[in-house]
Amino acid sequence: MWLSGPAADSHMEDRGEDGKISLRFVTTNRGKVDFLRVVLESAAADSILQSVEMCDMELPELQADSVAKICAAKTEAAFRLLGGNVVVQDSGFVIEALNGFPGPYTKYVLSTIGVDGLLKLMDGQLNRRCGFAACVGFADARGISC
């Protein structure tokens, strides 16, 4: 998806004098920022990366049926608000026996029926496999990638 508007126009080339880029990670979770820094350091990204800055802000969250769709919408919103090189992450808890539920609805499910409610949904289920679906989005003036 190509982006246009004031944010895109004012950040066509968001690099420092040394040619390195700065990333703005839009999240309220410092642990996510620290984890991204570790991943980038292990990938030897320091040759192109100047810094990773935490932008502690809530973004509007699209109600959608997939973590990827939510992440793409949040990434676009972050770019429109901040411009530059933005990173957004979204995830959801998935339970195999429940066909991936609650997935993108994790926050809502936990705030309504809670863990006890999820456990009740699992009554009689032998398959206890579960995990997280995650998506990382990046946007700059050239577009969005998730």
**Residues designated as active site:** 90
CB atoms within 10 A of CB 142: 12
Residue partners of 21: CB distance under 8 A and separation at least 6: 14, 15, 48, 49, 50, 85
Confirm if 90 and 133 have CB atoms less than 8 A apart: no
34: helix, coil or strand?
helix
User: Pick from 64, 51, 36, 38: which is nearest to 136 by CA?
Assistant: 36
β-strand 21-26 against 49-55: which pairing, if any?
Answer: parallel
How far apart (Å, rounded) are the C-alpha atoms in residues 90 and 118?
21
Place of tokens 């292990």: 42
